[in-house]
Amino acid sequence: MTKNVSNKAAKYREIAVLSIVPCAVGILIIVSWALAHWEIGTYLLNAGLALFATLFGGYLRFVAGFKDIFNRKITVNVFVTVALIATIAIGEFRAAAVIVFIMAVAGALESYTLDKTRRSIRNLLDLTPKTATVRRGEVEVTMPVSEIGIGDIVIVRPGGRIPVDGIVIAGQSSVNQAPITGESMPVEKFKGSEVFGGTLNETGRLEIETTKVGSDTTLARIVHLVEQAQGTKAPIQNLADHFTAWFLPTVIVLAIIAFLATGNVKIAVAVLLVACPCAFAIATPTAVTAGISNMARHLVLIKGGVFLELAQKLDVLLVDKTGTFTFGRPKVVDIVSFNGIPEEEVLSLAAIAEKYSEHPLARSVMARAKECGIDVPDPKEFNIEVGMGVTARLDSKEILVGKNKFLRDKGVCIAEYIDYAISEQTEQGRTTILVANNMKPVGLIAIADEIRPQTSLAITALKAMGIKKIIMLTGDNHKVAKSVAEEIGVDDFKAELLPEQKLQFVEKLQKEGNVVGMIGDGINDAPALALADVGIAMGAAGTDVAVETADVTLMNDDLSRVVNFMNMSRKVLFRIKLNIFFSMFYNVIGFILAGFGMLTPVLAVVFQEIGCITVVFSSTLLLWAKTDSMLKNNGNVGLTAVGRAVENARKDNISQCA
């Protein structure tokens, strides 16, 4: 409770600090206007307040503009700096202050977003417990994780998080290491197995000899990779900067020509003001803001306009498997009965044996029994052999459920056709458990990570939008990866990858000249998400760090939303170009009128404001733009079709029980 209160207080303090500049500028503008409107004090006082607001709030903008000039770069910052200086030069101090106020608000929001991302990365380390149980001789003591050294023996009980990287020296358990490796199923750990800090020990007691601590652990290295990837991501030049490079010099030349031709400095200033980059500067951000707002209503959160620009340039899309293409949870996908025994009886026997087990596979069996409406009685006797299987008794039934070897060791005769059935399921990337009653095998249950119903349709739609290659990345084994890849229709897959290897694969593709997108949901995806040109996180099921390091977040884990996002990116880019055309059209007309002395400086400002209004109206239309229109690419694959198919798949996804 105290920690939550402290976090909230820190968050409010941070927001307050970031709000100081825009709030101060806004207050100064209001006071300056009020003094002038009610004729309180001298002109020097109200003008001085507006000028101070401009200099105070626009200091960084001026610095950036002058730096770009010194670096021989002509950017929007340079244009804005020139426009602000010209506006101040003719005494329009409050107009300059208003421009600065808008920019200060945008800057504060950007700073808040970046700091929130860094804070989320630091919070990754919270996955590692602060204290751990360490064996000292025959005594177990609790001590801070920071004091654990290499070679110490750490005790981890069921339900606890593993605090260090190490090797199991005693005990057996199932460990959920999806946050680190991305594996969809818990991994059985026994003597000699390697474990990672931050993973979850699910079923048994483990004794672990520490091999890595602190910044050397796998989890800490992931944090470092994320920070490094974010720092090396190349900045993309704003689309408006491309036009500014030649537009600003042209405006200045025209203003000089106007002055030389008329000898009237006000006409020259009018030429410069009519080309004030207000409409030009808002051409991109207003379209981007409208596009982002539209996507937010469709549960797609976008962190910046540059990602809308990049989305329609993607060459390769990398997608994590677990939690992205799949739900990331085990589910019974098949029941095979032997010797004519009903499938429902096989499931019922397995559920009786697994009723008191906390193993994830046991939970999937119980979930299937519940779906089928099977009443599961309590077993009279129940015993778990960690990592192998369970035995249970009910009335005259002695039930065995577990691995092939477990049943053989108990004396159950496993015929060749049963081995073949197990092999067939394994080839499909499924985990199998055998069920025996009174020492006779009655069937097997196949369990796998469930594929999201919209996955194949979303991939088809993405290919229709021009993505050259879609590659699945996973920490799962090769057989599981191959099975899923073939079912959903991706172009290629890479299996058994650690976070660092995913990052290296992104780097390799980028060095080959590809624009790379990455979709993921876990901590193990965070480094690749951060480095990719466009990182997309599955937000509802994804980890905080994946959401924060990604550039786009799908809040409802619906892959068809990626297609919505890409479709919107095309609309936004078209709208930006249209807005720039409008702003330049008004500028050209304004140049002509101002050059002939038909516009005073004040009328020049009014004229360019009309251009601003036009651009804002144009961008506002994006708020109601539809992103589920038909995609015409040989097959007329459309988002509307995707949406309908997804809904039908959900309705038809009813368990088929015997």
Instruction: Write out the catalytic residue numbers.
Output: 320
Query: What is the distance between the alpha carbons of residues 119 and 229, in angstroms, rounded to a whole number?
Result: 16
Burial of residue 253, with CB atoms counted within 10 A of its CB: 0-12 exposed, 13-18 middle, 19 or more buried? exposed
Q: Is 90 helix (H, G, I), strand (E, B) or coil?
A: coil
Q: Per DSSP, what are the bridge partners of residue 596?
A: none
Which H or E element spans position 362?
helix 360-371
The residue among 173, 179, 203 whose CA lies nearest residue 191 is 173
* One-letter amino acid for residue 139 of the chain: V
**Secondary structure string (H, E, C) spanning 134-191:** EEECCEEEEEEHHHCCCCCEEEECCCCECCCEEEEEECCEEEECHHHHCCCCCEEECC
**Secondary structure string (H, E, C) spanning 33-82:** HHHHHCCCCCHHHHHHHHHHHHHHHHHHHHHHHHHHHHCCCCCHHHHHHH
Query: What is the distance between the alpha carbons of residues 578 and 536, in angstroms, rounded to a whole number?
Result: 27
Q: Calculate the dihedral angle through the C-alpha atoms of 416, 422, 424, 426, rounding to the nearest 10 degrees.
A: -140
Place of tokens 């000039």: 69
Which positions ≥6 away from 412 have C-beta within 8 Å?
400, 434, 436, 439, 440, 441
Query: What is the distance between the alpha carbons of residues 400 and 346, in angstroms, rounded to a whole number?
Result: 11
What would the two tokens of residue 338 be?
Answer: 């032997």
Say if CB 485 and CB 472 are below 8 A apart: yes
* Sign for the pseudo-dihedral over CA of 26, 28, 34, 37: negative
Place of tokens 């409409």: 279
Which positions ≥6 away from 88 have C-beta within 8 Å?
51, 54, 96
What is the pairing mode between strands 139-144 and 131-136? antiparallel
What would the two tokens of residue 61 be?
Answer: 């903008």
Burial of residue 437, with CB atoms counted within 10 A of its CB: 0-12 exposed, 13-18 middle, 19 or more buried? buried
* Sign for the pseudo-dihedral over CA of 339, 345, 347, 353: negative
Which positions ≥6 away from 346 have C-beta within 8 Å?
335, 337, 435, 442, 443, 444, 445
Which positions ≥6 away from 571 have C-beta within 8 Å?
291, 622, 625, 627
The phi-psi region of residue 330 (left if phi > 0; otherwise alpha if psi is between -120 and 50; otherwise beta) is beta
Query: What is the distance between the alpha carbons of residues 598 and 589, in angstroms, rounded to a whole number?
Result: 11
The residue among 50, 216, 44, 204 whose CA lies nearest residue 128 is 216
Place of tokens 């927001």: 15
Burial of residue 608, with CB atoms counted within 10 A of its CB: 0-12 exposed, 13-18 middle, 19 or more buried? buried
**Secondary structure string (H, E, C) spanning 205-243:** CEEEEEEECHHHCHHHHHHHHHHHHHHHCCCCCCHHHHH
The residue among 183, 184, 189, 185 whose CA lies nearest residue 201 is 189
